[in-house]
Structure 1
Amino acid sequence: MNKQQNHQPMLEVKDLRVSFDVREGEVQAVRGVDFHVNSGEVLGIVGESGCGKTVTAQTLMRLIPSPPSRIKSGSIRFLGEEILHKSEKEMQQLRGSKMGMIFQDPMTSLNPTLTVGRQITENLMKHLKMNTAQAKTRAIEMLKLVGIPGAETRINQYPHEFSGGMRQRVMIAIALACNPALLIADEPTTALDVTIQAQILEVLKELRGRLNTSIILITHNLGIVAGLCDRVVVMYGGQIVETGTVREIFSHPKHPYTEGLLKSLPRLDTSKSEPLIPIHGTPPDLVHPPAGCAFAPRCGYAMRICQRLDPALIDCGGTQAARCWLNHSKAQEAKA
């Protein structure tokens, strides 16, 4: 695990708030998110659909359309520079060169009318000022790096000529072609079978070790997080409800939602007859977010204060923190 606690993080996000204006009103998709990523670190962002994971990631890249989105407040500092105030032209220089992104569906993210080689070399020629021959050589190297056989031939093929797993590898090659400092992987194994998932994760793990690339891995799969990440951010209702190292989160979850996620997973070390425990209820309406804890209506530990006041992230020791009144020093008094 790469620790840089005494140094400035590569990426630092503070009080990020993002809303969408829709017919029903204002959807508060991201509500005061704070986290950081250190150099060479893999940070996992987990949570169920609609919790704000993808909106957060796309905001980091400044890819959310405006309108209907609005970045209401916050700060995103990348390599020491504030990027929320950068122009679109300045962001285009960052994307692909210092920040790369792997999207959920490579078939819709790749251009079907261009060869995969062309889609890799475009970035190289734009950001690294390579000529055509240099860019092609580099593109072949990248395809080999992500494990695509016959790269010299396949560079001239189109996305539809690749399988789902191979298309995802092409997306990784495009994202890493210019050696970005930060790679954002948004559900990189969605819709892939478990064998291909394992191969993609091995590629990411190897590239992290070889290139020291920082990675933000967005997923709902806690098994993937356990195998790849150093630290975890758990999101619910547009907020971070728990954060800590993988060991802390998996060994001693401090938020009932995190506990519920872990209990809903099948385990190999328990009896086959032991049922999985689902999280009952539905996520909060972010057009009208609750006054108190967003998880309170679904929480078996909810107290009176949970309905009225939204807790801040409370230090739980080590690097772990959770947005839950149960961790407050006066929790027993509040229960009474």
Structure 2
Amino acid sequence: MKSDNKLRNSSKGQNAQPLLEVEDLHVSFDVRGGEVQAVRGVNMVINKGEVVGIVGESGCGKSVTAQTLMRLIPSPPSRVKKGSIRFAGEDVLKKSEKEMQQLRGGRMGMIFQDPMTSLNPTMTVGRQITENLIRHRNMSMKEAHKRGVEMLNLVGIPLAETRMKQYPHEFSGGMRQRVMIAIALACDPELLIADEPTTALDVTIQAQILEVMKELRSRLNTSIMLITHDLGIVADVCDKVIVMYAGQVAETGTVHEIFTNPKHPYTQGLLESIPRLDDDKSQPLVPIPGTPPDLIKPPTGCAFAARCKYTMDICTRVDPGLFECSSTQSARCWLNHEMAKEVHA
């Protein structure tokens, strides 16, 4: 059965309450060479207390989708051509900038990919944490300062009281990333969008940060959108996975479904390219051949057809849309059509 409606909720039961609902989202950038169609018809639902992993190659639209949810991409050159974004039942795209400022940092928090360009170099890290708390939680300066010290300790920054008085350039790359995480978590947001939150951190601190996220989800029922290239983190933390390719959702499903029974050749390729500890080390990794398509001129039909070993004639002519593979899993691939022949890798 074919479905291009909103992606189904994860298997948290019929009582799952949607916090974020994205429907048919299209985002483009107007550049000198034409229109870059960065996001093309993305649908997703994140329930309260749910952790959803967004994976895919660089340039597939993960970060553009996330920043559009918080209305952080300048317009122009970007523009939302079509679609809707609802947060807790409210239409995000219809909110004024003043209303969005109240939403960002308070009910919605974001950990950015590059902390050096996200932190203000002219302000101490302490002030950057406390101003959020004063604005969104109506704390006094003393209360906000105390909370800021607690957050720096929470993300593993030693001598937190002293560090509150220092500037971003006085921190290492990994330490700046931890400051960004502290700012995003300080107000206990309902939705945390984490864009590659552990990229600049060593494995020990990565584990600590992931534990902080798990605790936040457990204690406050916080929903988390986790954008990452690390499928190991996805397997450890997430309930549901959305695989993106060329600005579209290629596949979605529970963590168990995606890792044990992927239905899209691109998802299969991502899993095959992961090194495994239980395999013979002499076995080479299996890369996905080719490169992603040019989104100024997206291909007709399936965007992955040029790189897929199962490509059929219809793949190059007609976009397959999302086929429902189960009540919680969908894949954008003609191999999931009821008339398609079974294939073996």
TM-score category by the smaller chain?
over 0.9
* Alignment-mate amino acid for residue 48 of structure 2: S
TM-score normalized with structure 2 length? 0.93
In 1, Cα distance between equivalents of 2:14 and 2:169: 45
Q: What is aligned with 1:36? A: 45
Answering whether residue 223 of structure 2 is matched by residue 214 of structure 1, we say: yes
Contact 2:27 2:80 in 1 (8 A): yes
In 2, Cα distance between equivalents of 1:192 and 1:182: 22
Q: What is aligned with 1:87? A: 96
List aligned pairs for 1:98-177, cutoff 5 A. Answer: 98-177=107-186
Relative contact order, higher structure (CA 8 A, sep 6+): 2
Answering whether residue 190 of structure 2 is matched by residue 181 of structure 1, we say: yes
Percent identity of paired positions between Structure 1 and Structure 2: 75
Structure 1 window deviating more from structure 2 (301-310 vs 124-133): it is 124-133
In 2, Cα distance between equivalents of 1:134 and 1:191: 30
Aligned residue among 204, 207, 214 for 1:205: 214
SS for the counterpart of 1:84 is helix
Q: What is aligned with 1:299? A: 308
In 2, Cα distance between equivalents of 1:207 and 1:163: 25
Measure how far apart 1:255 and its partner are: 0.1
Flag structure 2 segments of 5+ consecutive residues without an equivalent. 1-9
Structure 1 window deviating more from structure 2 (239-248 vs 143-152): it is 143-152
RMSD: 1.6
* Closer/same/farther in 2, CA of residues 295 and 37 from structure 1, 3 Å limit: same
In 1, Cα distance between equivalents of 2:237 and 2:320: 30
**CA deviation string 1:165-221 (max 9, x = no partner):** 322221111111111100000111223333333333233223322332111001122
Contact 1:144 1:151 in 2 (8 A): yes
**CA deviation string 1:12-36 (max 9, x = no partner):** 1000000000111111100000001
Q: What is aligned with 1:250? A: 259
Count of residues in correspondence between the two structures:
333
**CA deviation string 1:45-79 (max 9, x = no partner):** 00001100000000000001100001001111101
Measure how far apart 1:151 and its partner are: 2.1
In 2, Cα distance between equivalents of 1:12 and 1:5: 16
In 2, Cα distance between equivalents of 1:84 and 1:294: 28
Q: What is aligned with 1:284? A: 293
* Alignment-mate amino acid for residue 186 of structure 1: D
SS for the counterpart of 2:93 is coil
Contact 1:46 1:235 in 2 (8 A): yes
Measure how far apart 1:2 and its partner are: 8.3
Flag structure 1 segments of 5+ consecutive residues without an equivalent. none
Q: What is aligned with 2:334? A: 325
Q: What is aligned with 1:193? A: 202
In 2, Cα distance between equivalents of 1:2 and 1:106: 34
Contact 2:156 2:205 in 1 (8 A): no
In 1, Cα distance between equivalents of 2:214 and 2:168: 24
Q: What is aligned with 1:265? A: 274
In 1, Cα distance between equivalents of 2:264 and 2:220: 34
In 1, Cα distance between equivalents of 2:320 and 2:294: 18
Aligned residue among 33, 53, 64 for 2:62: 53
Contact 2:174 2:200 in 1 (8 A): no
In 2, Cα distance between equivalents of 1:148 and 1:5: 41
Contact 1:2 1:40 in 2 (8 A): no
Contact 1:106 1:167 in 2 (8 A): yes
Contact 1:50 1:237 in 2 (8 A): yes
* Alignment-mate amino acid for residue 167 of structure 2: Y
Q: What is aligned with 1:240? A: 249
SS for the counterpart of 2:242 is strand
Contact 1:182 1:214 in 2 (8 A): yes
Contact 2:305 2:316 in 1 (8 A): yes
Contact 2:181 2:197 in 1 (8 A): no
**CA deviation string 1:213-270 (max 9, x = no partner):** 1110011221111111111000001000000011100001100000000001101121
* Alignment-mate amino acid for residue 77 of structure 1: R
Contact 2:11 2:254 in 1 (8 A): no
Measure how far apart 1:164 and its partner are: 2.6
Q: What is aligned with 1:311? A: 320
